[in-house]
Amino acid sequence: MTRKQRIALALILASGGFSLFFGFALERFVVHDGMVDFKGIYYSARCLLQHNDPYREGEPLRVYLADGGDPRMGEGLHENLTWFINLPAILYIIAPITLLPWGPAHLFWMFLTCASLCLAAFLMWNQAGDSSRGVALFWVCFLLFNSAIVFAIGNPAGIVVALCVVAVWSFLKERFVPAGIFCLSISLAIKPHDAGLVWLYFLLAGGAYRKRALQTLVLTVALCLPAILSFSQIAPHWMQELHSNLLAQSVPGGGCDPAPDGQAFPTSPGMILDLQSTISAFQNDPRVYNTVSFVICGALLLAWSVRAFGTRFSPQGAWLALAAVAPLTILMCYHRPYDAKLLLLAVPASAMLWAEGGPIGRFAFLVTAAGIVLTSDIPLLIFAIYLHRVHISGVGLWGKILSAIVLRPTPLVLLAMSIFYLWVYLRRAPERGIG
């Protein structure tokens, strides 16, 4: 490694280490129900190891209490242990970890998440050109420095996003391709709504990249199908139960409701980032805000897909395409700030446009900065404290506009980010790229 690479790696590890330490402190001493998301998965997997149905209401909760869990749990943990909403594949993937007692298991999960995110950040920094690596290093370190929540709650998004980013680097650099295929397959198996559009890009890109996408699909099916068939023997009605569990966690006013009544603090480390959460400020009707959101995101996705499928591949164009689809992924369906670590994929395109200079380079820096900042832990916490003192009625057109801009700015920024990178991607000839 060169001296610059060693310095960058040290700064990346320090940033990730800070978040790991802070997340551990939150989980240990501050948050009543630490590792709330990982607990839901861990005890659901242990439920499966006992040949019980983790999708049956309250089964993971029974296993948790039998393991000596604290019955004085908060609402979030109670929901996660009562209604399991992840796909079956994750239960088999983490089964070896659940053979460990809770203490070592959750520490291992924390360190695995930190290591994978640091690796992904280093690869995205290394992808930037020499003239823009300083900018790239700042943003990957900023993103890692603000990742304590993903460690404190143990959501698998940290690992899923990191594996997806590693796979992208592997495919575009044509290095360690089998490992890249494996990483993207695991990412798709656990959270297809995080990695799905990234996989779609390689499918549309054609040539060797379509081959990588198809190989990934085959491996994903090979991983998931036996798990589903085996799981169906234990829980033959798991699909209906999963649907019921999703409905139970999405009731109006609940923690997964994107409407105004479902978000006590819309700008907080636990905010909902999909576009529905902003549109609902204008019309609090699921039929309206879901339809409008799907139309907007669908139109952007269609334009992006036509461009990716209809033009010759270039590495520079690939980074522009990924920078456009990363925020679009967050907007299309239910996501929270820990899923937005996927914005790591926008760092290389932002850095390369910055190196070009000019208005486009400056705007790329600003819009990427806004996207990363408004999905980061510490800025969100500051905004939440400030907005707790702000009262906006949301009555009338101007009140609704003000409510959307002030209380729900992040989806609007992500939308602007996606539109900007899509615009640059559409207007540049593939042979020109951004180099």
- Of the candidates 279, 305, 307, the one whose C-alpha atom is nearest the C-alpha of residue 291 is 279
What are the residue boundaries of the structural domains of the chain, listed by start?
257-435
- The predicted model scores a pTM of 0.93
Which residues have CB under 8 Å from 161's CB, separation 6+? Answer: 117, 120, 187, 194, 339, 341, 342, 344
**AA letter at 24:** F
Cβ-Cβ contacts under 8 Å for 339 (sequence gap 6 or more) = 157, 161, 191, 194, 273, 330
pLDDT of residue 250: 77
Q: What's the angle, vertex CA 145, arms to CA 257 and CA 378, rounded to 5?
A: 50
Please state, in angstroms and rounded to a whole number, the distance separating the CA atoms of residues 239 and 175: 38
**What is the reported pLDDT for 133?**
86
Tens-level pLDDT at each residue, the chain (435 residues): 788 899 999 999 999 999 999 999 988 877 667 889 999 999 999 999 999 999 999 999 999 999 988 888 888 888 889 999 999 999 999 999 999 999 999 999 999 999 999 999 999 999 887 768 899 999 999 999 999 999 999 999 999 999 999 999 999 999 999 999 999 999 999 999 999 999 999 999 989 999 999 999 999 999 999 989 989 999 899 999 999 988 887 777 666 777 776 644 454 555 888 999 888 888 888 889 899 999 999 999 999 999 999 888 888 899 999 999 999 999 998 889 999 999 999 999 999 999 988 999 999 999 999 999 999 999 888 877 777 676 666 677 777 787 777 778 899 999 999 999 999 999 885 544 433
Q: Specify the pLDDT at position 255.
A: 67
Of 189, 53, 85, the C-alpha closest to 181 is: 189
| pLDDT for res 75 | 81
Tokens of 83: 């209604």
Tokens of 120: 């992904």
For the chain, the straight-line distance linking the first and the last C-alpha, in angstroms and rounded, comes to 24
Alpha-carbon 158 to chain mean position: 7
Residue-level pLDDT at 429 = 56
